[in-house]
Structure 1
Amino acid sequence: MKFYLDFGHGGKDSGAVSFNGTFESNVVLKIGLILKSMLESYGHTVITTRIDDTYYSLSYRTNKANRYNCDYFISLHMNSFSNRNARGCEVWVYDKSSRLYNTSQSVCDSLSKALNTPNRGVKVSKSFTVLKKSKMPAMLVEIDFISNSIVEDVCSSYDYCYVVAKNICNALLKL
């Protein structure tokens, strides 16, 4: 199988920034590189948007995935909200008929348990560019809220990143 892993944001676009200055783009890059290694260890091909802190447009991301004829597009993100108590994982898909809908539910379930965070469920959106413009089934994973002080304290650690990557990997291996 060929996966396209999109590590959200990067470079001039840090994405969400925690209260103490942790960048979403750096956290999802760490998680994504671990996930890439895991998937490759099972013999899968993995194409990524980036391997460092570089900015790429949304159209670049989807065009690259489409050009490589990937089977699945997985975009990794950290959520943020003005209420610093907000927590939870959620996964976005283009519609409920997506071949990734059940896998998205599995990702939510496993991340919720592993991170001891609320399961905000699978949500549908026709407006996310990476879901709309990719020719293959796509999901956008909001791992947890970087704006939450509990998450902020651990999200840059290798252990946290490994647990997130392992749980997403396990769900993807069932495809």
Structure 2
Amino acid sequence: MKFYLDFGHGGKDSGAVGFNGTFESNVVLKIGLILKSMLEDNNHTVITTRCDNTYYSLSYRTNKANKYNCDYFISLHMNSFSNRNARGCEVWVYDKSSRLYNTAKSICSNLSKALNTPNRGVKISKSFAVLRKSNMPAMLVEIDFISNSLVEDVCSNYDYCYTVAENICNTLLNLD
């Protein structure tokens, strides 16, 4: 299988920023590179948006995935909210008929258990460019809330990043 891994934000766009200054873009890059290695270790081809802290437009991301004719588009993010107690994993897909809908439910469930965070479930959105403009089944994973100090304290830790990557990888390996 050929996966396109999109590590959200990057460069001039840090994404969400935790209370202590942790950038979403750095956390998802770290998790994503671990996930890339895991998928490659299982003989899958992996194309990524970025391998460092560089900014790429949303159209660049989907155009690249489409150009390489990837089987699946997976975008990694950390969520943020003004309520600093907010926690939980959620996964966004384009619609319920997406071939990744059940996989998205599994990722939510697996991350929720592994990270001891609420399962916020699968959400539907036709407005996310990466879901709308990719030619392959796509999902956007909001791992947890970087705005929560408990999450921010651990999200740069290698063990945390490895656990997230491992749970996403194991779920993706069960795709048909």
Question: Which amino acid in the other structure matches residue 171 of structure 2?
Answer: A
* Equivalent pairs, count: 175
How is 1:105-144 mapped onto 2 (pairs within 5 angstroms)? 105-144=105-144
Local SS of the residue matching 2:59: helix
Cα deviation code 1:82-106 (max 9, x no counterpart)? 0000000000000000000000000
Local SS of the residue matching 2:96: coil
Question: Which amino acid in the other structure matches residue 84 of structure 1?
Answer: R
- Whether 1:44 aligns to 2:49 is no
Question: Which amino acid in the other structure matches residue 81 of structure 2?
Answer: F
Local SS of the residue matching 2:139: strand
Aligned-residue CA RMSD (Å): 0.2
TM superposition score normalised by structure 2: 0.99
CA distance in 1, matches of 2:9, 2:121: 23
Work out the percentage of aligned pairs sharing the same amino acid.
Answer: 87
Partner in structure 1 of residue 163 of structure 2: 163
CA distance in 2, matches of 1:58, 1:116: 31
Partner in structure 2 of residue 5 of structure 1: 5
How is 1:48-127 mapped onto 2 (pairs within 5 angstroms)? 48-127=48-127
Local SS of the residue matching 1:32: helix
Local SS of the residue matching 2:11: coil
4+ residue stretches of structure 1 with deviation over 4 A?
Answer: none
Q: Which runs of 5+ in 2 are unaligned?
A: none
Question: Which amino acid in the other structure matches residue 18 of structure 1?
Answer: G
Cα deviation code 1:128-172 (max 9, x no counterpart)? 000000000000000000000100100000000000000000000
TM superposition score normalised by structure 1: 1.00
Shift, 1:121, TM fit: 0.1
CA distance in 2, matches of 1:162, 1:115: 11
Q: Which runs of 5+ in 1 are unaligned?
A: none
